Amino acid sequence: MAATKIAVVGIGKIARDQHLPAIARSGAFELAAAISRNERVEGVENFTDIQAFLRNRPDVAAVSLCAPPRPRLQMAVSALEAGRHVLLEKPPGATVGEVEALVALARKKGVVLFATWHSRFASCVEPARRWLSGKTIRHVEIVWKEDVRRWHPGQAWIWEAGGFGVFDPGINALSILTAIAPPVFVTDATLEVPENCQTPIAAQLTMRGVTGFEVTADFDWRQEGPQTWEIRVDTDAGLLVLADGGSRMSIDGEQRPGGLEAEYDGIYARFAGLLASGESDVDLAPLKLVSDAFMIGRTVDVDAFHD
């Protein structure tokens, strides 16, 4: 089967670190264009504007949107209106409502929409889901602490309204939680917002599973030194620990093997599968948890943040 021509929109850190290499390794996709206001990708046609790309390259069937969520909406609408299949980097949008509108538009145009959650493709997430299936969860503890200066250097949009703040990494943890455990909802949230920012630098959530268990989540962007991305699931059959963002797993202290460590290769393999079947894949559960946390969260002012 011929490779599907794909364009990447938004050539920033995540596109260069992950999407372009994964597309280059993929047999299913061929990079055909790049769209960015300021950046260029060697070896393909470059556009500074998605409208010009859509007009000039009707041969490119798929678009991968890596721009931040707020400017991304209009790009997604334009690409879907032009009949292109669309892959969305996480989070899939700035609001639950706009992504629901994109789902309706994709359906109307008969194209595929894929809202990706890269952490769900970490090597131990699927093994964890399988191990937990059928067991009774008693409690889940999420600790997700990293250094924002290391992972988001100079990204001003994350601190602006709609920019998610620490929920940008935190939603990765929530995307794993909602993949491996029964549905949960937020019962309490504290949002620590720097006095010069609109979004939290740290947040503590309490959630409840509909089957009765409690989940606590501790998100912090001020962690220097070792970084922590851990989910501990206490069950009637032992303690499962997902560490390193889902790439390591132990049960009662004993390491268990995962699959291949290939988050973005997994994403593009899944996108190829969706294109073959014509199905969309949009799970809004992680975004709904964040939205609800903002609605009921108690805001606490903390020290100003300077990049």
23, 145, 181, 205, 299 from 193: Cα distances, Å: 37, 16, 29, 14, 7
Q: Does 198 bind a second copy (CB under 8 A)?
A: yes
d(CA 242, CA 140): 11
Judged by CB under 8 A, which of 46, 78, 95, 247 binds a second copy? 95
282 binding a second copy? (CB under 8 A): no
Distances (CA, A) of 303 to 204, 222, 297: 17, 11, 18
Binding status of residue 295 toward a second copy by CB under 8 A: yes
Binding-site size, a second copy (CB under 8 A): 33
Q: Does 71 participate in binding a second copy (rule CB under 8 A)?
A: no
3-state secondary structure of 45: strand
By the rule CB under 8 A, 13 interacts with a second copy: no
Look up residue 107 and give its two tokens. Answer: 């359906």
* CB 203, CB 293: distance < 8 Å: yes
Rg of the chain (C-alpha set): 19
Binding status of residue 294 toward a second copy by CB under 8 A: yes
Q: Does 302 bind a second copy (CB under 8 A)?
A: no
Question: Which is nearer to a second copy, 261 or 283 (by Cβ)?
Answer: 283
Sign of the Cα torsion 153, 156, 157, 160 reads positive
Of the residues 5, 90, 109, 135, only one is catalytic, namely: 90
* 72 vs 248, beta carbon nearer a second copy: 72
Q: Which stretch binds a second copy (CB under 8 A): 156-164, 224-232, 236-244, 275-283?
A: 156-164
CA atoms within 13 A on the CB side of 114: 28
> What DSSP line would sit under 152-216, residue for residue?
STT-GGGGSTTS-TTHHHHHHHHHHHHHHS--EEEEEEEEEEETT-SS-SEEEEEEEETTS-EEE
274 forms part of the interface with a second copy (CB under 8 A): no
**Candidate segments 17-25, 186-194, 230-238, 268-276, binder of a second copy by CB under 8 A:** 186-194
CB of 83 to a second copy, least distance (A): 18
Which one, 21 or 97, has the nearer CB to a second copy? 97
Residue 90 is a catalytic residue: yes
- For a second copy, the closer of residues 135 and 298 by Cβ is 298
Binding residues for a second copy (CB under 8 A)? 70, 73, 94-98, 100-101, 104-105, 160-162, 183-187, 189, 198, 210, 288-292, 294-299
Q: Which residues are catalytic?
A: 90
